[in-house]
Structure 1
Amino acid sequence: MGGGLWALTAGCAPVMARVGALPPGVAPALLADGYRDGLTRSTPEAEGVSSEAILAFLNDVDAAGLELHSFMLMRNQKVVAEGWWWPYQPGRVHITHSLTKSVTAAAVGLAIDEGRFGLDDKVVSFFPEYVPADASENMRAMTVRNLLTMQCGHDKETSGSVWRPIDTPWAAEFFKIPVPHQPGGHFQYTSAASFMLSAIVSKTTGGSMADYLAPRFMEPLGIDRWHWDSSPGGVSPGGNGLSWNTSASLKLGAVHASGGLWNGNRILSEEWVKAATTERTPGDEDGAYGYQWWMGPGSAYLALGLFSQFAIVFPEHNAVLAIFAAIKGSKKIKPYIWKHFPAAFGAPSQPGAAAAELKTRTASLRLLPPLAATTSPVAASVGGRRFAVEANDQGVEWLSFDFADGACTYRMHDANGEHAVTAGFSDYLEQDTSMTGNRLHHEYRPPSQRVVAGARWTAPDTLEMAWQFVDTAFRDTLVCKFAGGAVTVDRSVNVNSAEMRLPLLTGRMA
């Protein structure tokens, strides 16, 4: 994936230089992070899993050109196979998108079991300050149960990308949405319903849902690397906004697979786990739905996030599959999942040649291909010069390129200030950046995000950079063409819910 994109182009000389002194906070990306998740390891065949089937799954996904970032497979509470496509690594957190909803369901179950509210409580009863005086009968009839099953009566989906730019309380925005259908009947998948579940947990516990879950769910499961965004008013966005690592997704599935137990300790009630993971509505073309969990073939059920983030539970086989990816449309990968799982599960057996091949394969997975350093004489004439950018819809005022020590630092100034990314020509460089990217990144706009960046000259006048935002599904590609004291910058992304390419920026030397 991406190998063709980074093939050397004639006219640009490869060099052997490595990076020298780098800007503060910038360093070569590590090949391994040494993270320990506390889980027990075993081999596939020892737990009755076919190494050959796992390999066939990976081969099918690769042949289809689908971009995986990581996977972990567990059976009998033991990890039997796992892999990360570098620069993704075990310790890195990754945006889960709507996989978050199934974590929200856990919080709701805990709060209900603590007696803080009930399934049939009316949603309006929690937020009288936001309910319009002329609220419809349907709005007033909506219950917590209706939110859980995505049957709150809405006619359209409200994506997290719609509310993220809004500064007013999102609970107030919820009550502005028309409710044309009687709650409990019409199914409409919407992050607005999940947000309100989080808001109800916050209202009844006195803190954010993230704070509520920390001692009750995260800490007992050993989930130690996670972050949950916050909405105006400090409410966790229940439909999205959670970032954690691959093992955390696996643990989410595992605690449900065991009926709410973890290492012999009760985390969720068995009654809640059964209720949440039982079909409650036929749903839509993506499948039937429970309480913030999707139903799969047979007895399988899954937490599912945008761009194909998965935690899939196969309860009859005591197995869980966790996946992070950058695939627009889970329908592209689901056929390969259901083709090989649960068929891969059987009785314990002796390992064969496939077991060794799987171990070798998963130890050498890579998303970004190695760099072959290139140079161009253009660098000397444009390096350190500021380019004033023509009027544009991104608010970019100027940009510049600094070439030093085997790297290029790209700087851009917009209404939010100056932003920089340093890309290596021989080594990918890792750093935190404030570089604006929300339009290409499903409207996520964190103040800082981690990026691994590489650069190459594809022609004497063309500089290309790859920015892998390793806490997300997103990889931006910048193609910068220099000619006659001017530069054009073409920025695109590997996956997004909206535009895939920003309008071209044109700058001229100041």
Structure 2
Amino acid sequence: MLGCAIADGYIQSVDEPVIKYIPELKDKEGMENLTIEHLLQMTSGVKFNESYINPFGDAATYYYGTNLRKAIYKRKLEAAPGTRFSYSSGDSQMLGLILSRALKDKTLTQYLEEKLWKPLGMEYDATWSLDLEDGLEKTFCCINARARDFAKIGRLYLNKGNWNGKQIVPKEWVEACTTADTTNGGVSYYKYQWWLQKDNNFMAEGILGQMIYVAPEKNMIMIRLGSAYGKTDWDTIFESLVQAY
């Protein structure tokens, strides 16, 4: 959605400062150096407790709370942006607020429907959890859809944003998402909200083991849905299936 928003002119580039869209953070020390790309790369340096078992952690506040904007305004830096990788649901949620404000006259859900759900001919309706009625989408999680439609997202990225001859997402954006960049705190296994795998494969991964695994060189997409990871090493399973294909 961010790639589409840049192509549509809602956002100029990933180098834009976060405080342009979230001015509520401008008085926080160091926030003037935080960019959209830092959030995409999980190199923001913004403090966030990612624990999924701590009822007082930030993840619990984001999931069960009813005011995500207020929670975002409380964020502070614990490291300089662009110096280290640290996976953070808070970064993804901040991206959601930025995109929501950039769109102005439409919600994230409406934009998702317009740019992806309808153009891809999704076979089922989906839901996206909000923090409260008519509130902000939980962009760190909580899109609920069927396996077949998740597979279409995988196919879209497999084909570098092209869907049956029409460029739905800019090719340059897809390539940026799936090409490692270890500068400025980045890591070889993560890029722009995707987990990078061996042999140019990549994966979208949910908290309970929901996965979209894409293997471009084998023209292969695998979907896994479930309520828990279990004891399975899913990375190894997917790699084995790719090699056996």
TM-score range, shorter chain: 0.7 to 0.9
What are the equivalent positions in structure 2 for 1:291-330 lying under 5 Å apart? 291-328=192-229
TM, length-normalised to structure 1: 0.43
Structure 2: runs of 5+ lacking an equivalent: 51-57
- Matching of residue 113 in structure 1 with residue 13 in structure 2: no
The structure whose Rg is larger is 1
Q: How far did residue 157 of structure 1 move?
A: 3.9
Given that 1:151 and 1:184 are in contact with CA atoms closer than 8 Å, whether structure 2 keeps it comes out as: yes
- Matching of residue 277 in structure 1 with residue 178 in structure 2: yes
What are the equivalent positions in structure 2 for 1:152-191 lying under 5 Å apart? 152-158=44-50, 160-168=59-67, 170-191=68-89
User: In the alignment, what sits opposite 1:201?
Assistant: 99
User: In the alignment, what sits opposite 2:32?
Assistant: 140
May I ask how many residue pairs the two structures share in their alignment? 232
Q: Deviations over 1:372-408 (max 9, x none)?
A: xxxxxxxxxxxxxxxxxxxxxxxxxxxxxxxxxxxxx
Query: Which structure would you say has the larger RCO, counting Cα contacts within 8 Å and 6 or more residues apart?
Result: 1
Which of the pair is proportionally richer in helix? 2
Given that 1:280 and 1:288 are in contact with CA atoms closer than 8 Å, whether structure 2 keeps it comes out as: no
Q: How far did residue 143 of structure 1 move?
A: 0.5
Aligned-partner Cα distance in 2 for 1:330–1:297: 21
Given that 1:171 and 1:199 are in contact with CA atoms closer than 8 Å, whether structure 2 keeps it comes out as: yes
Mean CA deviation greater in 149-158 or 217-226: 149-158
- Matching of residue 240 in structure 1 with residue 141 in structure 2: yes
Q: How far did residue 327 of structure 1 move?
A: 2.7
Q: Deviations over 1:55-108 (max 9, x none)?
A: xxxxxxxxxxxxxxxxxxxxxxxxxxxxxxxxxxxxxxxxxxxxxxxxxxxx00
Given that 1:208 and 1:234 are in contact with CA atoms closer than 8 Å, whether structure 2 keeps it comes out as: no
Structure 1: runs of 5+ lacking an equivalent: 1-106, 346-510
Paired amino acid for 1:251: K
Q: Aligned pair in 2 of structure 1 residues 249, 185: CA closer, same or farther (>3 Å)?
A: same
Q: Deviations over 1:237-274 (max 9, x none)?
A: 11101100001111111000011111222111111100
Aligned-partner Cα distance in 1 for 2:128–2:186: 27
Paired amino acid for 1:140: E
Q: Aligned pair in 2 of structure 1 residues 324, 294: CA closer, same or farther (>3 Å)?
A: same
Aligned-partner Cα distance in 2 for 1:301–1:211: 27
Match of 1:124 among 4, 9, 19: 19
Given that 1:160 and 1:240 are in contact with CA atoms closer than 8 Å, whether structure 2 keeps it comes out as: no
Given that 1:307 and 1:329 are in contact with CA atoms closer than 8 Å, whether structure 2 keeps it comes out as: no
Given that 1:306 and 1:329 are in contact with CA atoms closer than 8 Å, whether structure 2 keeps it comes out as: no
Q: Deviations over 1:122-160 (max 9, x none)?
A: 1111122x2263x112x2211000110111112444464
Aligned-partner Cα distance in 2 for 1:156–1:127: 17
Aligned-partner Cα distance in 2 for 1:183–1:234: 29
Q: Deviations over 1:330-377 (max 9, x none)?
A: 863322222x232122xxxxxxxxxxxxxxxxxxxxxxxxxxxxxxxx
Given that 2:26 and 2:32 are in contact with CA atoms closer than 8 Å, whether structure 1 keeps it comes out as: no
Q: Deviations over 1:167-197 (max 9, x none)?
A: 33x2332232221211112111111111111
TM, length-normalised to structure 2: 0.87
What are the equivalent positions in structure 2 for 1:6-21 lying under 5 Å apart? none
State the superposition RMSD in angstroms. Answer: 2.1
Identity %: 26
Aligned-partner Cα distance in 2 for 1:270–1:247: 23
Aligned-partner Cα distance in 2 for 1:186–1:329: 30
Paired amino acid for 2:195: W
- Matching of residue 337 in structure 1 with residue 232 in structure 2: no
